[in-house]
Amino acid sequence: MEVSVGQKLQHEFTLTSVSDIASSSSSSSPASVVSLSSPVVARFSADSGVVELRFGPDSEASDAVTVNIRTAKLFKLGPVQSVCIAEGSEITKEESYSRGFNIWFSNIEESRAFHVAFEQWKTETVQGSCLPNGAVSTSKSKFDDKIEPSSAKMYFHYYGQLLHQQNMLQDYVRTGTYYAAVIENRADFAGRIVVDVGAGSGILSLFAAQAGAKHVYAVEASEMAEYARKLIEGNPSLGQRITVIKGKVEEVLLPVKADIMISEPMGTLLVNERMLESYVIARNRFLVPNGKMFPTIGRIHMAPFSDEYLFVEIANKALFWQQQNYYGVDLTPLHGQAFHGYFSQPVVDAFDPRLLVAPAMHHVIDFTQVKEEDLFEIDIPLKFVASVGTRVHGLACWFDVLFDGSTVQRWLTTAPGAPTTHWYQLRCVLSQPLYVMAGQEITGHLHMIAHSAQSYTIYLTLSTKMWGPGAEQGGLFQSSACKVDLKEPYYRMSQPQPYPLVQDQQPHQLLQPQDINIQSDDLEDTELLQQQTHSSGAHLQ
């Protein structure tokens, strides 16, 4: 039973008395026997992330007896008498023998109300909404239903390593923007309960604590949670207000609702790794109504591009399969599949914004409103007007996110031409380029379907309409499409190409290895080598 924000569970009862049930097989000493007379307070709580039942003279008594609801059972012995059986307590670290308590109530109504509350709190525990820090539900979560185990294992293994956390921390555009967004909006954090979703190293939790958060719950499912604890313990002035909870956001519970959530759920093209869905689930489970989310919205930007260098580079990879005598074997039967295989990889790199041939458009995802199922399939109609006459080689994509603070609104962008981030930009390359004239309309669709490997299959279609007189009746002039797997990108981390201001837009044949002649003497002459490089670039434009 998931309790809504407005629903309250009764948590405190006044009992007539509570006493131990003496077991003949137990070696309990008299000192360990509990006998509490009126008034006795029984209090349910989840202050530490574990649902507990405490018996004592008052709800805050230091000598109160604690029972873990998760393993306890309650039986009715009479109208005003019940017995509570608790297994070996994980909390008090006592012997593993079961322990029983006789409970007497003042009237039947009090007894009935106590039993109802006990079952409600126990149901909370069983369904995973009041689990101890780091514990997971025994039932299958939403995450397990939609993600294949092998992908999840690799994902959490990757983010459980310090070297990958360092890679993100050293992205100073990313980390610096998060720091500025938090510190410049202290009013949103000071005295507030904060949840850090997918906390990683815990750096965002520490930022929130620096901004004056009352308490931060850092939820991290990978082994990085242990490193986060160590880092936070090493900063005691901040760490005393941070609790690290090891587990998936779909499964763990917080003792209180949060006023603000902070997370870094963005992947390549914003949606890769499907952590946005976990961000939305955490919003639904942990955030108070109208609570803040950092980041607040995300935008996917798209524009057609022209890049002869990239097209030739990808196409030439398949030249290997044109060999007719590879150790006596003809490889050409596989050339077609290899050619299309290379174009099925999205290209991740930083490119020159001058390669864009039309103003960009964008698709907005409002993290405060979007539903989880809205992210399973994303369809974006495309419409551009070409600024120049050129060959269109595909669609370039990048994203930005907004931190909508009460004091300062700050954007984190991965746009081409902006300071480079570890996300870079992404390009889907067509194996059949399109020809456009300046002013010609380019239409199409970017259709993304989520799959169980924590990514998306992307279907891109671009078309151009007839241009000039009679264009309205002419319909489509040419169309090209591709299918790429966002999970399998081509990370193109080579040196930037010497792109000129204006590229020659004429079609070119693929470069053949025998067409490139480099003399050994030329390599010793730097000036001549540079001239040849510029000359080659001119032919490839």
- Give the closest residue to 291 by CA, choosing from 279, 300, 275: 279
Helix (H) or strand (E) holding 156, with range, is helix 149-159
CA dihedral 54, 57, 62, 67 (to 10 degrees): -20
Q: Coil, strand, or helix at residue 454?
A: coil
Amino acid identity of residue 154, one-letter, is M
Residues 251, 264, 277, 313: which is the catalytic one?
Answer: 264
- Per the structure block, which two tokens stand in for 13? 């009862």
Distance in angstroms (rounded) separating the CA atoms of residues 160 and 201: 9
Residue 452's Cβ-side half-sphere holds a number of Cα atoms within 13 Å equal to: 8
The residue whose two tokens read 């917080």 is 254
| Residue 273 designated active-site | yes
- Per the structure block, which two tokens stand in for 49? 């992330």
- Per the structure block, which two tokens stand in for 41? 């307070």
Residues for the chain: how many in total? 541
Q: DSSP character for 495? A: P
What distances in angstroms separate CA 243 from CA 7, 238, 359, one per listed residue?
Answer: 25, 11, 46
Distance in angstroms (rounded) separating the CA atoms of residues 18 and 513: 89
Residues 52, 251, 273, 313: which is the catalytic one?
Answer: 273
Distance in angstroms (rounded) separating the CA atoms of residues 505 and 52: 72
- Per the structure block, which two tokens stand in for 304? 């057609």
With vertex at residue 278, the alpha carbon angle to CA 193 and CA 4, rounded to the nearest 5 degrees, is: 55
Distance in angstroms (rounded) separating the CA atoms of residues 454 and 148: 8
| CA end-to-end span of the chain | 63
- Residue 102 makes CB contacts below 8 A (sequence gap 6+) with 17, 18, 19, 20, 21, 77, 81, 82, 83
| Residue 148 designated active-site | no
Residues that are catalytic? 264, 273
